[in-house]
Amino acid sequence: MPKIIIAFLGAMLFSYVLTPYVIKLAHRIGAIDVPKDDRRVHSKPIPRLGGIAIFGGFFIVSTLLIPISREMMGFLLASVIMIIMGILDDTRGLGAKTKLLIQITCALIVFVFGVRIEFLTNPFDKETGMLYLGILALPLTVFWIVGITNTVNLIDGLDGLAAGISAISAITLSLIAYMSNDITSTILLVALAGGAIGFLPFNFNPAKIFMGDTGSLFLGFALSVISIEAAIKSAATLAVVVPILALGIPIFDTTFAIIRRANAGRPIMEADKGHLHHRLLSRGLSQKQTVIALYLMSCILGASAIFIAEASMKSAMVVLTLDLLLIIYGVFRLKILTHTQEEVK
């Protein structure tokens, strides 16, 4: 327990102290987000690269508190590559195909170093309780890592949104890991949450700095990789559902965006103003109110994930059904699957 507390407070402190220096660096090298279209909700240039501070706090604490195993080495190596890609994208701009290729490469690195989805818990198999994936382990692992990496990146549309949602998701997964006596994953997750929270005072509305792709891609990547050990491989009755609920807001928002664009005959990677935070803003909520509302939604899904991780099959199914009904209600209430006249390409 002392290591867990130190990891959280240490990462938070380092991130908080590093952020002002990152702001100066961003101004010096011209890493500034200038609002160029009406999808952006800020009206003046804001420095980015805040992900450097988040990663710095996480990296310092995790390497000091956790032995460098083979899996840890692969994760840190891939994380550094992800951060470098984010910095290049925030300063010079990288094409979507280039970023996707690098993300797949990072996923392959952690797979080669031993972090992989080799099996899923199968509550219907009374004999082994497992569903072994065999040759499907590689594509499923890559799909999960690349998918979650991009979902966090796509919700980074309001001040403090991605950092806060990532922190809530990390804390949720850390509690699940702790209940499973997985101390390594717990330390990594609380360090990740601490790094994001230490950055939030500078990123919450009105933001003094954005995390940029440097931060959102790293946070998504880290959550996807650590959740493989912390939740997907846990002994939960519905283990595969646990990380999906813990990362619910970015996962569902991205899924609905893909469906919405496909139904409209538009490229699924085309940007629009149909994301959940855009819908809430259009309902008259302020930036702060929208972000806090999404924090609360994430906490509800996180609490459900924690309950399901320890619940019986029957109880888990009841909670999961209630969650799905609430999500369906929200989808139709906010018309998330339909395009509006205000949406832009």
Q: What does the DSSP assignment read for 136-159?
A: GHHHHHHHHHHHHHHHHHHTTTST
Tell me the CA end-to-end span of the chain in Å, nearest whole number. Answer: 49
Query: Is 237 in contact with 55 (CB distance < 8 Å)?
Result: no
pLDDT tens for each residue of the chain, 345 residues long: 788 999 999 999 999 999 999 999 998 988 888 776 555 555 678 898 999 999 999 999 999 999 889 999 999 999 999 999 999 999 988 888 899 999 999 999 999 999 988 877 666 656 666 677 788 889 999 999 999 999 888 888 888 999 999 999 999 999 988 988 889 999 999 999 999 999 999 999 888 999 999 999 999 999 999 988 876 665 555 666 778 888 888 888 888 888 877 776 776 666 667 778 878 887 888 888 889 989 998 999 889 888 887 777 778 788 888 888 888 877 777 777 666 544 543
* Closest of 225, 217, 272 to residue 89, by C-alpha: 217
CA-to-CA distance for 1 and 122, rounded, in angstroms? 31
pTM exceeding 0.85: yes
CA-to-CA distance for 60 and 170, rounded, in angstroms? 18
Question: Residue 232 has which token pair?
Answer: 């997907």
Question: Residue 344 has which token pair?
Answer: 């832009």
Q: Is 57 helix (H, G, I), strand (E, B) or coil?
A: helix
H helix runs in the chain, sequence order: 2-29, 51-65, 70-91, 96-112, 137-154, 161-179, 183-203, 212-227, 241-246, 248-263, 276-282, 287-310, 313-333
Residue stretches of the annotated binding site: 153, 213
Map out the domains of the chain as residue ranges.
Answer: 1-239
Residue stretches of the annotated binding site for Mg(2+): 153, 213
Look up tokens 């939740």; give the residue: 231
DSSP 93-121: ---HHHHHHHHHHHHHHHHHTT----EEE
DSSP letter (8 states) at residue 211? -
Question: How large is the angle between the packed helices 287-310 and 248-263, nearest 10 degrees?
Answer: 110
* β-strands 46-47, 119-121 pairing: unpaired
Q: What is the pLDDT of residue 344?
A: 43
